Amino acid sequence: MNPAEPLPILKYPDPRLLRVARPVAAVDARVRALTERMFATMYGAKGIGLAATQVDVHERVIVIDVSEERNQPLVLINPVLEWASPETRKGDEGCLSVPGVYDGVERALAVRVRALDAQGHSRLIEAEGLLAVCIQHEMDHLMGKVFVEYLSLLKRNRIKSKLLKAAREDERDSDGERSTERPGQRSAQPF
């Protein structure tokens, strides 16, 4: 069996990241193939979560795997947040769509989400810790929100300028053999 082909990940400040995802009408072979490609994309980019919005598919689909062994894939289709704990914690987040940028975001410590799985069965997921943070981060993407929107306007503008400059440099150097790794950039992005 051939592995699923990865998809290109949209980079902030691409305006397509701001689109609100529409519900999936039916969990069928097309949606299952999308989730396989999303997992291939997420694992290939060393992420732990990916929303369909990030690969320019504007449907309510999320894939997650927060396990150390990368063997506990979780598919959330049409997720609905049913409950979030009043207790919150601020923790560093990163994003596959905002490479090399990490900053503190306040999130609920625990959540309860109802969603369909890859077979179309309804599931109730109760999550805490890293899984809860990842679910909240990816659900934000489905609403057209990138984690940097939780930061100050000054920080957002600096991030936007940095990423636009990096994109221009990558475009200019795409014919060369220069590495795209930037000094100080972390090689693994969590979400």
Q: Is residue 58 part of an annotated ligand binding site?
A: no
Q: How far apart are CA 173 and CA 186, in angstroms?
A: 21
Q: Which residues of 167-180 are buried (b: 16+ CB within 10 A; e: fewer)?
A: eeeeeeeeeeeeee
Kindly name the residue from 138, 171, 177, 181 that is annotated as catalytic: 138
Are 103 and 155 within 8 A, CB to CB? yes
Q: Is residue 137 part of an annotated ligand binding site?
A: yes
Q: How far apart are CA 125 and CA 121, in angstroms?
A: 12
Identify residue 188 by its one-letter amino acid code: A
Q: How far apart are CA 75 and CA 72, in angstroms?
A: 10
138 labelled catalytic: yes
Active-site residue list: 138
Known binding site for Fe cation: residues?
95, 137, 141
Known binding site: residues?
95, 137, 141
